[in-house]
Amino acid sequence: MIKIKYFVHGATADNIAHCSTGWKDLPLIERGIAESKASLDGIRNEQFDLVVCSDLLRAKQSAEVVFGNRFPIVYDARIRECNYGDLNGAPSSSVVYDEHIKTPFPNGEALVDVEKRVYKLLVELNKKYPGKKIAFMAHRAPQLALEKIINHKTWKQAIQEDWRKTKSWQPGWEYEFDE
């Protein structure tokens, strides 16, 4: 079994403009850096054996602020945000997760594709780091995939109960995975 603490990256210009960034590789803005520092305050005394971070710039920058040189960081494309294809960077209102659980976004991927890549990562980490505590720094869709895989929610439940909708942000979410 592995223990996971999941963190989301800080804000980008797209987030402020209510656009869904997807695979666009944007940096954090000042607000995003401040948000990442706020996460750091909540975990100062925690120890992690490893940090697995999305390979997108906004997640990398957040991981550097939150974890710095305290823990080894590996970058992995399997916890990238969903590829919205033609809708990368589009207004958030046009990126409707409920419509793309099994149907890919135009020239992109479906949420089940995100689930498959996150699951493969979890299996690999569980074999390589059994009993370890791992921090994840990533995005919305991979976190919803964890809710589906680990907490056995349906995609519709995970989307409906997402902290972004319920306004229940916290400095990290805890999961345990054992295959």
pLDDT at 78: 98
Q: Which residues pair with 174 in a beta bridge?
A: 5
Query: How far, in whole angstroms, is CA 53 from its chain's centroid?
Result: 8
With a cut of 90, say whether residue 134 has pLDDT above it: yes
Tell me, rounded to whole angstroms, the distance of Cα 112 from its chain centroid: 15
Amino acid making up residue 112: V
Query: Would you say how long the chain is, in residues?
Result: 179
The answer on pLDDT for 79 being more than 80 is yes
CB neighbours of residue 151 within 10 Å: 11
| Per-residue pLDDT at 170 | 80
User: Is the confidence at residue 176, as pLDDT, over 80?
Assistant: yes
Tell me if residue 62 falls in helix, strand or coil: helix
pLDDT digits (tens, 9 = 90+) for 50-74: 999 999 999 999 999 999 889 999 9
Amino acid at 153: K
Q: How confident is the model at residue 129 (pLDDT cuts 50, 70, 90)?
A: very high
Q: What is the pLDDT of residue 171?
A: 76
* CATH number belonging to the domain at 2-177, selected among 2.40.30.40, 3.10.20.30, 3.40.50.1240, 3.50.50.60: 3.40.50.1240
Summary mean pLDDT of the chain: 95
Q: What is the pLDDT of residues 26-40, one digit of tens each?
A: 999 999 999 998 887
Q: Which residues contact 170 (CB under 8 A, 6 or more apart)?
A: 42, 163
Question: Over the stretch 147-157, which tens digit does the pLDDT of each residue have?
Answer: 999 999 999 99
Q: What is the pLDDT of residue 95?
A: 97
Domain coordinates in residue numbering, the chain:
2-177
Say how far apart CA 99 and CA 16 lie, in whole Å: 24
∠ at Cα 165 (164, 167), nearest 5°? 65
Q: What is the pLDDT of residue 141?
A: 98
